[in-house]
Amino acid sequence: MKKLVAATTFLLTAWLVCLWAAVGTEAPDQDAKDLIAAAEALYDRWSDPFDFDAYEVSLREAILRWEDALTLLPKDGVQSRAHVLNHLAQAYFELGEGYLTQTGDKENAYEAGKGHALASLRLDPTFGETEAENGFRAALRSAADVAAIFWYGNTLGQWLNYHQITAILGGVRDVLASFERSIELDEAYAGAGPHRAMGSLLSQAYFVVGRGREDAVSHFERCIELAPDHLEGAVSYAESYARPTGDIALFDRLLAHAVEMAGDPAVMSAYPFYNRLSIDRANRLLAED
């Protein structure tokens, strides 16, 4: 009788373990997939005519769904977690760039994006090993996920605007390392974003990283060459380099080019969010000139 009870108990326990696994792992995984799919549908800027104001609502909703999905993904689901974390880093960057106006809100958005990108980088055990042995900047320079690296550099760079001491004490060099590595891995990523970001960084913080301001030129030119329909390259080149150096002819030419390109619906639809921000900035610069 005791053997029968023991056998029955064993079978019941095994069944409960299987049931727990099914409910505790498989169901949340499917829920996470559904949340991710919903977030990406909201984040889609190309299926319909782009409405800049309406996109803020979609962006915020996408962030909520990605964050909910993150709590349901298994800890060892590295690929899925990296996918969500990288999207969150970019989404928080876009929220800060496009819609937030209060200083504290913008700082918090960039901090959240920076945290998500860093969490993505640290999913790679090699990153942690390199960081432990040679330091954080060395880990950045050897990382392999261009999305995590690039959005870490972008969100960190914006966050440092609110933390000047951290910027001077090494933060800017971390941004530099991020963009250098992004260029090595995929210079065309996000509309030649690594070159565009490097051009802006060197234009504004060349003295901090020990480089010449003119070093920015080759990066801006390469950005425009690789992604002529991403108008941020030309506008940032005009604002960050041409105007501060007093090259008015270059300033006028770059902004005129951006405005002309914006008249083509195909150009505006290539990068709807960023091109809208860029042409608004170009018009402000022209009005100030």
Q: Which pLDDT belongs to residue 68? A: 97
Q: What is the pLDDT of residues 86-134, one digit of tens each?
A: 999 999 999 999 999 999 999 999 999 999 999 999 999 999 999 999 9
- Does residue 16 carry a pLDDT above 50? no
Q: Which pLDDT belongs to residue 46? A: 87
- Does residue 194 carry a pLDDT above 60? yes
| Structural domain boundaries in the chain | 1-73
Encoding tokens for residue 123? 């999913």
Sign of the four-CA dihedral 225, 226, 227, 231: negative
Residue of higher predicted confidence among 103 and 22: 103
Q: What is the pLDDT of residues 26-68, one digit of tens each?
A: 444 889 999 999 999 999 988 878 999 999 999 999 999 999 9
- Does residue 6 carry a pLDDT above 70? no
Q: What is the pLDDT of residues 122-147, one digit of tens each?
A: 999 999 999 999 999 999 999 999 99
Summary mean pLDDT of the chain: 91
Q: Which pLDDT belongs to residue 124? A: 96
Question: What is the pTM assigned to this prediction?
Answer: 0.89
- Does residue 232 carry a pLDDT above 60? yes
Q: If you average pLDDT over residues 13-33, what whole number do you get?
A: 52
